[in-house]
Structure 1
Amino acid sequence: MHEAGETGTAVLLRRAEAGDEQAWRELVDRHAPVVWGVSRAFSANTADAEDVCQATWLLLAENLGRLRDPGALSAWLVTTARRESLRLHRARRRESPVGLDSDVLGTAGPVADPEHEVLRRWTSSRLARSFAELPQRCQQLLRVLAVAPEASYAQVSEALGWPRGTIGPKKSRCLAQLRRRMLAADVPEEVAG
C-alpha cells in the first residue's frame, strides 16, 4: 500500500527508479503521445523527432530520483522534449547543408503505377510547399495533431504551451489556411479537402 495522497504517477516513478520494468513501460505508454507530439512539432523530420524522444526518455531515466513533483511529470517531459528539439535543431543547423534536413530524400517506396506515382508526388510537393508557407505555430499544431491524433486537446495544449481553449479554433483556422493554399497551388478540390 502506498502513502495517502501519493499519486499513481508517483508510485510508478518510485517503482521505475527501483528497476521495475513494468512501471517504466506504463510511464512511457501514458506519456509517449505527448512526448512524440512535442518532438515532432519542433523537429524538422521524423528521424530527428525519434532522436528527441529517445533523448527525452533517457533523461527521464537518468533523473527519476530527482523529480520534485511527480504530478508535474507530463510538464517535465514536455519541457525536456522541447529543449532537446531545440538543441538538436541548433546542432543540425551547424552540420547540415541548407535543404538537406528533410524527409524528402528518404521517401523511395514501391510504385503502384506511373500515373498514380506522378499524381502522388505532384500533390505531395504542393502540400509540402503549402504547409511550409503556414505560420510556424500552425505547422507545430498540425504536426502534433497529425502524429498524435488520439491526443486530447489538454495534451496538445500542454505539449505546445498554449491555452487549451485555443486549440480547436486554431486547428480550424490552420486547416482552412492550408486548404486555401492548396487550392491556390492548383491542387484539385477533392485532394485539398
Structure 2
Amino acid sequence: MTERERSCGTAVLLSRLAVGDERAWRDLVDRNSGVVWGAVRAYSANRADAEDAWQATWLLLAENLHRLRDPEGVSAWLVTTARRESMRLARARRRESPSGLAGLLAETADSSETPESSAMRSLSAARMAQAFAQLSHRCQQLLRIMAVAPDASYEQIGTALGMARGSIGPKKQRCLRALRLRMLASGSPEAVEGVAV
C-alpha cells in the first residue's frame, strides 16, 4: 500500500469512526498497533504498565477523535500520545515504588520449570537486566521497541523515538555491542549468545 492509499484509507477510517463504525476501530488498531505497542514498551518498565498506557492511548483517541483534522497525522498523534502516557505512568510508578526491575523480572516467571533451571534463568535475567540498565536511556528505548515490535519499520520506530530513520540501524548495532560487552564483563558468557550484534 502506498502512502497516498494509506492516507486516503485513514481519512475514510476517520469518517467511519465519526459515525461509530466498530469495524473502522478494528482496522485503525490493526494498522497502528505495532508502532503504538512499540512506543509504550519503549517507555514502560514492564508489560502491565505498557498495557495500561496502550489502553489509555486508544481511549484518548476515542475522546479526541473530533479534534483530529489531518488523517496523515493519526499515526504520529498515536505515537506521541503513547509516549506521553507511558512517561506519565512511569513517573507515577517511580513515586510509588523505588525498584524498577522488579516488574521486569516478574514477567519472566514460568511455573513449569525445575527449580534449578528457574534459578539459572533468574540469575541470567538479573545479569541481563543489570547490563541493560547500564545502557544509555536512548539505547534502552530503542532495544525495547525493537524487541516488542519486531515488525515495525525503521520509519515507525523513528517516529516513535524521534530519531532519523537512517540512524536506527547503526544505533541498534552500537547498543547491542554495548550490551554484549557489559554482559561479558559481568561474567555471563552463556547469556551473551542470545545478544546478536
The reply to whether TM is greater than 0.5 is yes
Distance in structure 2 (CA, Å) of the matches to 1:108 and 1:169: 33
Distance in structure 2 (CA, Å) of the matches to 1:160 and 1:99: 25
Give, in angstroms, the shift of residue 109 of structure 1.
2.6
Give, in angstroms, the shift of residue 103 of structure 1.
3.1
In the alignment, structure 1 residue 148 sits paired with structure 2 residue 176: no
Residue of structure 1 in register with 2:164 after alignment: 163
Residue of structure 1 in register with 2:138 after alignment: 137
Residue of structure 2 in register with 1:71 after alignment: 72
Distance in structure 2 (CA, Å) of the matches to 1:135 and 1:105: 23
Matched ranges for 1:87-106 at <5 A: 87-94=88-95, 96-99=96-99, 102-105=103-106
Q: Which residue identity does 1:192 align to in structure 2?
A: V
Question: Any idea what SS the aligned residue of 1:186 has?
Answer: coil
Matched ranges for 1:1-193 at <5 A: 7-94=8-95, 96-99=96-99, 102-105=103-106, 107-188=108-189, 190-193=190-193
Contact 1:14 1:65 (8 Å CA) reproduced: no
Give, in angstroms, the shift of residue 122 of structure 1.
1.4
Distance in structure 2 (CA, Å) of the matches to 1:177 and 1:32: 29
Paired-residue identity, %: 60
CA deviation profile, 1:133-191 (whole Å, cap 9, x unmatched): 00000000000000000111111111101000000000000001000101111112x43
TM-score, length-scaled by structure 1: 0.91
- Comparing 150-159 and 85-94, the one that deviates more: 85-94
Gaps of 5+ in 1: none
Q: Which residue identity does 1:160 align to in structure 2?
A: L
CA deviation profile, 1:17-68 (whole Å, cap 9, x unmatched): 2111111100000101111111111112111111111000001111112101
Contact 2:105 2:126 (8 Å CA) reproduced: no
- Comparing 98-107 and 152-161, the one that deviates more: 98-107
Contact 1:111 1:117 (8 Å CA) reproduced: no
Q: Which residue identity does 2:183 align to in structure 1?
A: M
Question: Any idea what SS the aligned residue of 2:45 has?
Answer: coil
Q: Which residue identity does 1:148 align to in structure 2?
A: A
Question: Any idea what SS the aligned residue of 1:52 has?
Answer: helix
Q: Which residue identity does 1:27 align to in structure 2?
A: L
Question: Any idea what SS the aligned residue of 1:31 has?
Answer: helix
Distance in structure 2 (CA, Å) of the matches to 1:104 and 1:117: 12
Q: Which residue identity does 1:129 align to in structure 2?
A: Q
Distance in structure 2 (CA, Å) of the matches to 1:64 and 1:107: 37
Across the aligned residues of Structure 1 and Structure 2, the Cα RMSD in angstroms comes to 1.7
Contact 2:47 2:107 (8 Å CA) reproduced: no
Gaps of 5+ in 2: none
